[in-house]
Amino acid sequence: LELSDDHDGILDLARHLGGEDGLVPGKALADVLGPPEQILEVEVPFNRPDGLGIVGLAREVKSALGGRWTDPASARLANRWQGRADFPLEIEDPEGCPRYIAQVVDGIAIGPSAPAIRRRLESMGQRPINNIVDLTNFVLFEYGQPLHAFDLAKLKGPAIRVRRAAQGERIVTLDGKERVLGNEVLVIADRDHPVAVAGVMGGVESEVGEATTAILLECACFQPQRVRRGARWLGLASEASRRFERGVDPGVGPAAAARFLALLREQSPGVKTGAARERAILDGKHRTMTLRASRYARMIGHSLTVPEMKRHLESFEFGVEAGDPLRVTVPSWRGDVTLEDDLVEEVARAHGYEKIGEAPLETRGVFATRSARERGLERARAAFLALGLTEAMTTTLVSEREAVGSARLLGEEEGTLVRLKNPTSREGEVLRGSPVPGLLRAAAHNLRQGMQSVRLFELGAGFRAHGAGLPEEIPMAAAIVIGARYAHAHDEREPLADFAHAKGLWEAWLEAMRVDSPEWRAYSAVGWKPGASAEVGCGASRIGWAGTLGPPLLREWDIEVPARHDAHLFVALLDPVLRSAATRTRATLPGRYPPVRRDLAFFVPEDVAHRQLEQALTAAGGRELASVELFDVYSGPGTPDGMKSLAFALEFQHPERTLTEAEVQTMQEKMVTAVASSCGGRLRER
């Protein structure tokens, strides 16, 4: 009886049941109210909007129980709707509204709905309003197709235009609130202004009321993304938007309109259908697919005959032509079925998951192998972790501003960006070109939370536009270091990481990746600190970038580094790194004889890279030069104009004997001569 907690007093059954017919004193209450109804709670997946209507649920029950339609005409009213095509109707956004039916109905008398309709709506939690609005709601719950009725006399023209709202346009919706519209919102407008938010809610100005004598019935199909954007823009949701956002059956419109008119004639025999119009860009063709019996057996693990598969699909009202493979026509309400494996799932569901027997686990001769790339990724991850960095996992969707800024760091053009066609927000409208945007956001977040040191890395894909085809997916690694030089430092006096220390970290990672002799080449781009960035190469291949981020970029990304701190970034292209890796680990026996160590400092022109100087020293030192390591860069007082000082630690060692002082001195002199001739430098005297 739907009694409230306050149920003292007399229950007026005539008012509750909509009239006194059949209310005879002494009659059993059960005979008046009818048999008790059962409540069936159904969880409808997002990709099955056909389940948001009674007909869709009945179709599933019919398949499961092997039943048949008790009212085929009611369930299949398609193509029964007709009307004279003389109503002014324009669709200015056909992508947002691929189908629109407008039907004028005259001779309307507004009043309460029939008791049966009212009880049905109340059982679904809907408040009865009047006979017109109640029938639109009834058809919505029966067919899953939202309808809307406009008071024809309140439409200017009268005419209907389906268009995008102008920025700043206003409408008062049926909930009584004035809403400001934007270009993202699709509206239904008359000749002058919006009268409804398409797929979401109608407007007060065209609302059906007690004085209404003629209506215009709207039965439309709207693009789910457009309705979703409009609802989000307005912060508004309704039973209609819930269905349109998931995708209403594009073929159910004529049937729903015919069902409304049939129910209306039952309640009001005097109504007359007037002018009508339909605009549609839908071709009306159903999707066709094939299903192989071998594919079903492979995916599910047991076999069915072709006739059995055909019967199961036909129980869901798929059109099926016999053969192997089966040729299947997908009904319009099954937009979720797009692949052969979707058909496999439908057959298995109809057959019954509980009938699929357990298969023995086959392990003989089965073993897992990892590809060279997978092993390389694992080695890259282990190397970063060994250097004291923490792995981060960030989103692949970024804003266009973030994508452009990170692309400039790596010298990429904006034309390589991969933009989404229908982004859900401006913060996720582009596929990232590298893991850099996510790492920079993560670094900014950690610093805002009070972290004094940030050491993060990420292994992931970058995406790059590749002509008209699919975007290129590039495996990449990126790392960022801010703060203390060493991981887990607890002393505030711990020295801070500078470019040289960060470069040492990246070199250690490359060494762990077995990259022999990486070259650090001069490189500059927008976003790096001047003079503190490099391109990393190996032979003719570019394998990465490294450097210190400049203050303008840090401000742009809201990275609030503490005073005297720098942010050091490293980006590597994993495929070239893995190709450059030595296939075999080469071991060199330590020398049996003591090495001789010397420190040499050179004044060289400021534009000479230390790599150039190192190559000159290595060539002049010959095989007795065991190692060369830069340990100091100086350009302060005492340095000649236009020059800088680079100091190297050299180690000499002969594999078969101890080197003499004279031999070492000779090699030093050769090095000084080589630096002078190739780099324009000279030895720095003490």
Closest CA to 222 of 141, 164, 183: 164
* Domain membership flag for residue 183: yes
CB contact set of 18 (below 8 Å; sequence gap of 6+): 112, 113, 114, 115, 118
Distance CA 11, CA 9 (A): 7
For residues 224 and 101, membership in a common domain is answered with yes
For residues 138 and 47, membership in a common domain is answered with yes
pLDDT, position 635? 86
* Among the ranges given (77-86, 183-192, 241-250, 339-348), the one the predictor scored with the smallest mean pLDDT: 77-86
* Domain membership flag for residue 79: yes
For residues 625 and 506, membership in a common domain is answered with no
For residues 97 and 219, membership in a common domain is answered with yes
* Domain membership flag for residue 148: yes
Asked whether the predicted pLDDT for residue 140 surpasses 70, the reply is: yes
Distance CA 459, CA 465 (A): 20
CATH of the domain at 490: 3.30.930.10
77 or 360: whose pLDDT is higher? 360
* Among the ranges given (75-84, 456-465, 504-513), the one the predictor scored with the smallest mean pLDDT: 75-84
For residues 342 and 240, membership in a common domain is answered with no
pLDDT interval class at 79 (50, 70, 90): very low
* Pair 186, 93: CB distance under 8 Å: yes
For residue 54, give both structure tokens. Answer: 């009674």
For residues 427 and 477, membership in a common domain is answered with yes
In percent, the amount of the chain with pLDDT more than 90 equals: 60
* Domain membership flag for residue 360: no
- Cis before residue 45, ω within 30 degrees of 0? no
* Domain membership flag for residue 358: no
CB contact set of 173 (below 8 Å; sequence gap of 6+): 179, 197, 201, 202, 203, 204, 234, 236
10 Å CB burial of residue 285 (0-12, 13-18, 19+) is: exposed
For residues 548 and 643, membership in a common domain is answered with no
User: What mean pLDDT do residues 273-289 have?
Assistant: 85
pLDDT, position 363? 65
Distance CA 301, CA 397 (A): 37
Distance CA 194, CA 189 (A): 4
* Domain membership flag for residue 590: no
Helices (H), 268-317: 293-300, 306-315
The count of structural domains within the chain is 4
> Cα–Cα–Cα angle for 160, 164, 170, nearest 5°?
85
* Pair 442, 479: CB distance under 8 Å: no
| Chain centroid, CA 116 distance in Å | 45
Asked whether the predicted pLDDT for residue 69 surpasses 60, the reply is: yes
Average pLDDT, the chain: 88
pLDDT interval class at 4 (50, 70, 90): low
Closest CA to 293 of 262, 325, 329: 325
pLDDT, position 86? 62
The last residue of one of the domains, among 284, 315, 339, is 284
Distance CA 404, CA 397 (A): 13
User: What mean pLDDT do residues 414-442 have?
Assistant: 91
Concatenated DSSP letters for 449-487?
TT-S-EEEEEEEEEEE--TTSPPEEEEEEEEEEESBSST
pLDDT, position 582? 64
pLDDT, position 348? 94
For residues 25 and 90, membership in a common domain is answered with yes
pLDDT interval class at 13 (50, 70, 90): low
Distance CA 16, CA 546 (A): 77
Q: What is the DSSP letter of 383?
A: H
Give Cα separations from 305 to 65, 297, 326, 329 (angstroms). Answer: 21, 10, 11, 19
pLDDT interval class at 6 (50, 70, 90): low
The last residue of one of the domains, among 240, 261, 284, is 284
Which amino acid is present at 55? V
Q: What is the DSSP letter of 428?
A: G
CATH of the domain at 116: 3.50.40.10
pLDDT, position 434? 95
CATH of the domain at 636: 3.30.70.380
pLDDT, position 172? 95
* Domain membership flag for residue 176: yes
For residues 612 and 654, membership in a common domain is answered with yes
pLDDT, position 131? 93
Distance CA 547, CA 187 (A): 51
pLDDT, position 283? 77
451 or 34: whose pLDDT is higher? 451
Asked whether the predicted pLDDT for residue 85 surpasses 60, the reply is: no
For residues 236 and 320, membership in a common domain is answered with no
Q: What is the pLDDT of residues 626-664, one digit of tens each?
A: 889 888 888 888 888 889 999 999 999 998 889 999 999
For residue 278, give both structure tokens. Answer: 């339909």
* Domain membership flag for residue 591: no
Q: What is the pLDDT of residues 88-102, one digit of tens each?
A: 889 999 999 999 999
Asked whether the predicted pLDDT for residue 80 surpasses 50, the reply is: no
CB contact set of 182 (below 8 Å; sequence gap of 6+): 165, 167, 168, 233
For 483-496, what is the HEC assignment? CECCCCCCCCCCCE
For residues 258 and 161, membership in a common domain is answered with yes
For residue 556, give both structure tokens. Answer: 């742009």
Asked whether the predicted pLDDT for residue 591 surpasses 90, the reply is: no
Q: What is the pLDDT of residues 593-632, one digit of tens each?
A: 899 999 999 999 988 887 888 889 999 988 899 889 888 8
User: What mean pLDDT do residues 469-493 have?
Assistant: 83
For residue 301, give both structure tokens. Answer: 């693990």
Distance CA 257, CA 147 (A): 8
For residue 116, give both structure tokens. Answer: 């049966």
For residue 576, give both structure tokens. Answer: 């070239």
pLDDT interval class at 157 (50, 70, 90): confident
Strand order in the sheet with 682-683: 625-634, 643-652, 596-605, 682-683
For residue 133, give both structure tokens. Answer: 């609005």
For residues 576 and 611, membership in a common domain is answered with no
- Cis before residue 36, ω within 30 degrees of 0? no
SS3 of 597, please? strand
| Enclosing domain of residue 334 | 288-352
The last residue of one of the domains, among 255, 284, 313, is 284
Q: What is the DSSP letter of 636?
A: S
* Pair 343, 289: CB distance under 8 Å: yes
* Pair 538, 519: CB distance under 8 Å: yes
